[in-house]
Amino acid sequence: MNNFKYTSVIVRDVSDSLGEEALRMDDGPVVDMEKVRLQHKEYVRTVRSLGLKIIKMDADHSLPDSVFVEDPAVVIGTAVLLPKLGHPSRRPETNAMQKVFEGIPGMKIHKMEDIDPMATLDGGDVLFTGQEIFVGQGSRTNERGVKVLSQVFSGFKVTSIEVNGHLHLKSVCTLAADDTIILATGDDESTGIVKRLQSAATGKYKYLEVKGKSSGANCVYIESNDEPTVIHQSFSVYPQIEQAYNSLKGRKIAVDTSELSKVDGCLTCLGIFLTI
């Protein structure tokens, strides 16, 4: 199985309530909803330009965080885990997500609550490298959630990484190539997370470190038309990441989602990529 040769992506329209009601780790500046919608449209246009089919879900204005579709589903190949999300206000998001996957032939759906009602997990805590799975354990994902994920994806080694000071594991590190992990080391918390991941890794990886805002290390890696492709944040917004991304082989595409970052959103949050 080619783990990153995606054929389609699930996205969801922006909720009108995002600006006022979306969850935040810290109080921040006012969200410009017009800019959010423009940035989201550009993200969708970008992935469509890579030849991926867009599976678009309607917005649910009662669920302000629902544009961040990465959290209510974890997908590897044909296996889908619908987790019990860590924050109670987001748990209804899995209902519509289940209906989407029920409409995709060949997908095998596993519901976390059916396996362990006490388990919680956000998809933003799950970093799949093709060789193994790292799972951030912190405010949204608990030990029981990690255990359920390891049962569902039993063909891969699953390693728990303690996450503190940041919302998710992928808030500070993501896959930037099939053998490369990009890491944020701009603060003590992210540096600690990164060191724990490097110590626990069993696969062989190259590591790229970036300073500045941790979300600069959040990117989307796709193998599109047999060419490695990375969608990353804009260098004009994150100037300290330019050298690291330019060192990567293949195609690099910048997409600005800085307005969504005001509510802790990252690039990976906006899509669920499928190989089927």
- Return the active site residues: 168, 269
The alpha carbon dihedral of 109, 99, 93, 70 has a sign of positive
Tokens describing residue 170 = 């992928």
Chain centre to alpha carbon of residue 118: 23
Q: What CA–CA distances, in Å, run from 156 to 40, 131, 152, 195?
A: 32, 7, 10, 21
Contact 93, 140 (CB under 8 A): no
Tell me whether residue 26 is exposed, middle or buried, using C-beta atoms within 10 angstroms of its C-beta: 0 to 12, 13 to 18, 19 or more.
Answer: exposed
